[in-house]
Amino acid sequence: MISLARAPLPLTITPYSRRYRGAVRELLFRHETVMIHLDWQETEPWMDSLEAITRLAFDGHRLVGALAASQPVDGASWLRIAAVHDAADPSVVLPALWEAVKPALIETGGVQVAVLVLREWLGKYVSALGFRFLEDIVTLRRGDQPLPPLMLPEGVTIRMLHNDDLTRIAAVDRAAFAPPWQMSAQEVYHAAQIAGYCTVAQIGTQIIGYQLCTVYFDGSHLARLAVLPSMQGRGIGRALVSGAIQHFTARGIPAMTVNTQANNIQSQRVYTRLGFKRNGYDLPVWVAALA
């Protein structure tokens, strides 16, 4: 574990504003000690929005660090951006930023913060910032295999997502996941905007589940799958994924990937039965309590 220096230094910590756009862009895209985990959104629009809680560190007039977290959902937030100037010391800059971000999160109802350690450098510092390891996110992949049968449970229909469904699928998402895995209504909206294929499952007029896939250069990615807890275990998730696989295979895109928590055995069982296999690309999630 790295011990973080906390001696007083001439760093100025300030909230982000649009006048710092150019300096932040320079920091994020011209330096190595950077981690960005935004999923559905572009960096600058997100930082300009009310969804981001961002603090910047200046050494004189030079921007040497940035730390940004999402607004809490049911008390849980995600660390979305961490960046330190190549000429600065992360063991000095990161704690100064973290101590400024924490009270802002608490003021907005934050209880805990999670971070997906996408870059190795960040993993060296999270423990000393007060984070503890939670679990790994695992990736599974399905190649060009025979198509799974599309078996719809009795009374369930699957159709394309409509714009007026967004509020309802956000409610399904929030019910299906516990913190910190829930998405805000705004994140659901952004996810749907970039989706390559999104469908909902319903009984009558009630939406009980949905899936959202994105497309990349040589395959698709099952980015979100949610089913109401009361409806789980009935084959609804399997039907949604099977339909997505069939959709992309018919368009010459048979390969699909999906991420899930290492301890989510139920979802891994669904994916395994559909031909997915773990590919060894695992990423650690760490969490910190704010109280």
Nearest to 66 by CA among 20, 105, 114: 20
* CA-to-CA separations, 14 to 64, 144, 191, in angstroms, rounded: 12, 51, 30
pLDDT for the residue 5: 47
pLDDT along the chain (291 residues), means of 10: 50 96 97 94 93 96 97 96 97 97 96 96 96 96 88 93 95 95 91 94 97 91 96 94 95 94 91 92 95 79
pTM for the model: 0.90
* Token representation of residue 204: 């009558």
Q: Which domains does the chain have, with CATH numbers?
A: 11-130 (3.40.630.30), 139-282 (3.40.630.30)
pLDDT for the residue 212: 97
Q: What single-letter amino acid sits at 104?
A: A
CA distance 287 to 119: 16
HSE (side-chain half, CA atoms, 13 Å) at 220: 28
pLDDT for the residue 9: 56
Interval 82-115: pLDDT, tens: 999 999 999 999 999 999 999 999 999 999 999 9
Interval 249-268: pLDDT, tens: 999 999 999 999 999 988 99
Q: Which residues fall within 8 angstroms of residue 95, CB to CB, at 6 or more apart? A: 4, 5, 6, 128, 129
